[in-house]
Structure formats: structure tokens, C-alpha cells
Structure 1
Amino acid sequence: MISDLKKIMLAAVGTVATVYENIDKNINEMVRKGKITIEEGKELSEQLKKDVEVKTNQATNVMMEKIDELRPLTKEDIRLMIAEYNIDVEEELKILKNKICELEKLSSKVDELEIKLKNKIDILEEK
């Protein structure tokens, strides 16, 4: 789980870098077209770079703190969560089993209807 969170964090950093590059390209394009001066472009790029660094560092720090706080769930943790939410596991299992049976029946009906439809299509194609 921790490795997944690290992957998410790295993906987020990569996304930020891509956005930064795109904005920087747009700034350069605006300078090239004369919509802003070279100096304004440099200022915007520097401010963008600082903002990206600050935000990335903040996000990284928060994520690393959260990762450090994580620990595996124990059986007791799970029991407490079940008790806290007043979950009747046996009843939930019955409900799920019933729903699975219903879905299996529906799946069988769909299969039957597909066969009937295919047969009708075959008959129509023969004519």
C-alpha cells in the first residue's frame, strides 16, 4: 500500500512538471508573439517555478507524513470497525449470496435471450 502511495505521489509530481512545462511553453509563445515582454516572461517563469517548487514540496511533505502514519490493519482493528459500524457480517453475507444468485439467474436469462436472438437473426438471414 505504501508503495502505491509513493507511486501516486510520483505521478502527481510528474503531472505538476508537465503542467509547468506547458505553462512555460505558453509564456515563451506569448513572448515570441509580443503579447508580453521578455522581462515579463522571465518574471512569470520565475514566479511559476517558485510556486511549483513550494507547492510540490508542501504536497510531498504532507504525503510523506501520511505515509509515515500508515500501519497495517490488525484483526482487532477490523473487529473494532465492524463493531463501530454495527455490521452484521453473517447477514451481509446472506444478502450478498442472494444477490449473487439473482445475478447468476439474470445472466442465464441473458444467455438464453442471446441464443434466441441469434437464432432469429439466422432465420431472417436465410430468407
Structure 2
Amino acid sequence: MDISFKKIVLAGIGSMAYSFEKSSELIDSLIKKGELTVEQGKELNEELKRKKVHEQETENASGGITPDDLKKMLLDLNLATRDDIRNLEERIKNIEDR
């Protein structure tokens, strides 16, 4: 697996875990404030877990993002490529050498 692709996948997993953690903290906060009952909080947490598991199963079943999909997404973002940067560096060097 390409290192950059692996980093993006790991970042996605990390953000999912972070958002799940933050959602759990929010639910706990609402329970403490009395805006949710303990039972409602448990139900919300269970629903979050079910959705998270379902999303992971769906992603695993579809194979997740392929390297080609990732390349297409990055191209769609219109980011500078290594070649673009090298060309710009070369142009800057030529201008400086004048």
C-alpha cells in the first residue's frame, strides 16, 4: 500500500474515532445537564456504535478507497504535483540566474 494512501486511511480512521469520542462526551454532558436521561444517553451511544460498525462494514465490503480513486480525488482538487513544483523551482532558478 502506498505510504500516502495509508496515511490518509489512518487519518480517516482517527477522525472517525475522534468524532465518536466527542459524540460520547457530548451525550455525557447532556445527561449531566439533565437534558437527556441516562437511558436516552445509552440508546444514543448504542445507535452511534451501530452506525459506526455499519459504516465500517460497508466500507470493508466495498473495498474502501482504491489508490486510483484517491489519485482521481487529488487530481480533482487541482493540487500542485511534484513536476509542477520542480518546473516552478527551475523557472525561479532561471530568473535568479539572469
Number of aligned pairs?
81
Change (3 A) 1:10 1:60: farther
Q: Which AA in structure 2 matches 1:15? A: S
Shift of 1:21: 0.4
- Structure with bigger helix share is 1
Q: Secondary structure at the match of 2:36?
A: coil
Larger radius of gyration: 1
- Aligned ranges 1:1-127 → 2 under 5 Å: 1-64=1-64, 66=66, 100-101=90-91, 103-107=92-96
Task: Report Cα offsets for 1:13-48 as digits up to 9, x if no partner.
Answer: 111011100100100110011001111111111001
Normalising by structure 1, we get a TM-score of: 0.49
Note if contact 1:13-1:56 (Cα within 8 Å) is conserved in structure 2: no
Shift of 1:53: 1.4
Task: Report Cα offsets for 1:39-81 as digits up to 9, x if no partner.
Answer: 11111110011111111232344345725x8xxxxxxxxxxxx
User: RMSD across aligned C-alpha pairs, in angstroms?
Assistant: 3.2
List, as ranges, runs of 4+ consecutive aligned residues in structure 1 with deviation greater than 6 Å.
none
